[in-house]
Amino acid sequence: MSTILPLIIIGGGPAGYTAAIYAARAGLCPVLYQGPNPGGQLTITGEVENYPGYRNGITGPAMMEDFQAQAERFGTVVKTGTITQVDFSTYPRRLILDSGESLLAQSVIIAAGASAKWLGLPAEKRLYGRGVSACAICDGFFFKGKTVVVVGGGDTAAEESLYLANLCKKVHLLVRKGQMRASKIMQERVFKNTNIQTWFHTEVRDIIGQEHVEAVEAIDAIAQTTTMIEATGLFVAIGHQPNTLPFLPYITVDRQGYIQTKPGTTQTNIPGIFAAGDIQDPHYRQAVTAAGTGCMAALEAERFLQQPPINF
């Protein structure tokens, strides 16, 4: 018979490790499964300069190593493995690993994050962190006074373009269709900003550069003509995909697939199941906000475990 664990944390990013630190210090003996991408999106991020406490900046991977070491210092058991299936209809909750092993837990914190959607170009992966980014707020500072390209037509692309327009010399916004999907007010702001040049019916054909982004080759889908845009940065803003598939259909999600939590909490629709980090946050997607919700989830899990057991 499987051992019943007090708390399982799914995901090894800022939310998961912060939850682990708080839970371990509270004596909850958390077991954290890192998932397919240990460290989350920060492991493919270059310099992190906006997280409090690192006054000289730190690389994303090094930062995640610090988080993990701190969690383990207080007794968190960190394991490799990915949760591929769950059964939240019974109590204790059952989780299945990619190895086929079955786990039982009294409470669960889901901090599996969200994955950025990419264009699928070979150069995209090679130049990630060398000019290619999926977060203007995270990396925009490094392109101050330079020319950049933003790809996308929704609110995210509009927000990224407007943010970068305050920092950069020029922002080229490439929209695949003949109109933007962004809200009317966001479109108006983009079109009024003289620092943003919008290209419709335009897609990225290639990213030029060996060590860093030097230019973006764009193609007009109607005229089939190509244009070389000299730029040092390419921001892909075509959305994120929350990693919620293993938790369906038990956990309630919104239309975009993000886990819905009760306002002001990390509580999901199922007692004892909490969600933290990017998997429940379509708006901010920052390491510091993820860590904050990780703290909240651990405190709420602690309170939950102090209550009488659930009876089914």
- Averaged pLDDT score across all residues of the chain: 94
Of the candidates 98, 135, 155, 206, the residue annotated as catalytic is 135
**How far apart are alpha carbons 56 and 58 in whole angstroms?**
7
The question of whether 139 is a catalytic residue gets the answer yes
Tokens of 194: 């003289």
Q: Does domain 122-236 bear CATH number 3.50.50.60?
A: yes
Q: Which of 241, 250, 296 is nearest to 96 (CA)?
A: 250
Of the candidates 29, 87, 98, 139, the residue annotated as catalytic is 139
Of the candidates 66, 87, 138, 254, the residue annotated as catalytic is 138
pLDDT digits (tens, 9 = 90+) for 107-154: 999 999 998 889 999 999 899 989 999 989 889 999 999 999 999 999
pLDDT of 1 above 70: no
The angle formed by the CA atoms of residues 256, 257 and 263, to the nearest 5 degrees, is: 90
The question of whether 138 is a catalytic residue gets the answer yes
Matching fold, domains 4-115+240-305 and 122-236: yes
pTM score, whole prediction: 0.81
Per-residue pLDDT, averaged over 8-24, amounts to 97
pLDDT digits (tens, 9 = 90+) for 200-237: 999 999 999 999 999 999 999 999 999 999 999 999 99
Report whether 242 contacts 253 (CB < 8 A).
yes
269: buried, middle or exposed (CB in 10 Å: 19+, 13-18, 0-12)? middle
pLDDT at 158: 94
Which fold, 4-115+240-305? FAD/NAD(P)-binding domain (3.50.50)
For the chain, give every domain's residue range: 4-115+240-305, 122-236
